[in-house]
Structure 1
Amino acid sequence: MNGVTQDEVDRLVAAWRRERPDLDVRPLEVLSRITRLARHLDRARRTAFADHGLEPWEFDVLSALRRTGPPYQLSPGQLLTQTLVTSGTMTNRIDRLAAKGLVVRGPDPSDRRGVLVRLTDAGRELADAALVGLLKNERELLAALSPERLGELADLLRTLTLPFDTA
Structure 2
Amino acid sequence: MQEVSSNLSLKELYEIDEHLWLEETIKLLKAHHLEELDLENLIEELENLGRRDKARVASLLEQVIRHLLLLQYWKEESEYNSGHSRAEIRSFRTQLKRNLTTNLYQFLEKELPLIYDDALGYVLEKTEGKLNNLPQSCTYTLEQLLDINYLPEIM
Tell me which structure has the larger Cα radius of gyration: 2
More strand by share: 1
More helix by share: 2
TM-score category of the 2 structures, normalised to the smaller one: under 0.3
TM-score (norm 1): 0.23
Comparing both chains, which one has the higher relative contact order based on Cα–Cα distances under 8 Å and sequence gaps of 6 or more? 2
TM-score calculated relative to the size of structure 2? 0.24
